Each structure stands twice: as structure tokens, then as C-alpha cells.
Structure 1
Amino acid sequence: MTPREIAAKAVMITTLAGAMLAAVHVLGWIAETDAKVEQGMLEAYCTGVATWKVEEARGVLLEHRTGHPDYDEIAAERCPGLWPAGRATNQRQLAQE
């Protein structure tokens, strides 16, 4: 192999390695973006369910409510803080009721 062929192969290998590194970086960025979008969609879903439940508890008529019911039936497990913890159990909490 001539020095020119060796240099050409070295450039080709370096270019290919750079392209592969860029592809891995782009795929990582896409996965991170997808996770952020999914989290945002879940937060919007949970907000809608919470709004619906609050308005339902306040007696807002069905046709005037905003938000939405738990259509996907995932709020109980995927929406932290949406469900009340239950009745108070210690004396301090009971005295405030």
C-alpha cells in the first residue's frame, strides 16, 4: 500500500467513526426528547383528570366541566398526588377536621 492509499483509508475510517458517533448522539437526543414529550403528555392527562375530579366534587354540571375523566384508567397508578391519602389517623389531624 502506498502512503496515499494509507492516508485515504485513515480519512475514510475517521469519517466513518465520526458519522457513527454523530448517529449515536442523535439517537440519544431523540430518545431524550421522546421521554420529555411523553412526560409532558402524562402531566397534561393528569391535570385534565384532576380538574375533572375537582369540578365533579364541587358539583359542577357535566356540561360545564373542563378537563376530562380518566379515559385510559391510568390515573390511579401514573398520576402521583391525584388520589387523597385517606382519612386522618393521628389526633392532630383529627382535631383539625
Structure 2
Amino acid sequence: MEPRPDHVRSLERWLYRVPSHRSNMKELSATGFMSNRGRQIVCSFLVRDMGIDWRMGAEWFETCLLDYDPCSNYGNWTYGAGVGNDPREDRYFSIPKQVSALKY
């Protein structure tokens, strides 16, 4: 499942419009890096709230991140999507709670 360039651009533009994601997107575009919490917030939002297939998000991060690691990336995306190895079912990553915990 290769993310289409037009879909990726749409996702990026949309994420820039959401205040809680803007700083994560700015960090990613400026440095090729995003904090672990930022990655979790973006993943949870795209998968749980927007219904985006987690594989598309994982492949998108693969193309953007300078510190890309397949095991960490796909592990985080499967965890965020609820399809990975987690004994707790139907986990939801509370974005408002996580955003309030960020230190900018």
C-alpha cells in the first residue's frame, strides 16, 4: 500500500491546520525528526480519529523521518492502530491529555 503523493500532501496540509499537530508537523518538515510523543499523537489521530489505514501512515513516516527504523516505526504504528502486541484491547490514545503534557 504505497501512499499516493496527493493523499500525503492532503494529510500534511490537514495536519498543519490542527493546532495540536502543527508543532509536530513543523518539527518533521524542518528537521526530519519528530518526538516519540509527537509520533504517537499523529498516529493515534490519523488512525483512530480519521480512520486512515495505519500502513499508509507508517509508509509516510518512512519517507519523512531521518531516524527511520523499520522495527520502531511499524511497531509504533501497529500499537497505535490496536493491531500490535498489546494485551489491552481497544486502547485509545487520549490526544487532548497527551497534547497538554507536551513541553514546547
Q: Give the TM interval when normalised to the shorter protein.
A: under 0.3
Higher RCO, Cα 8 Å, sep 6+: 2
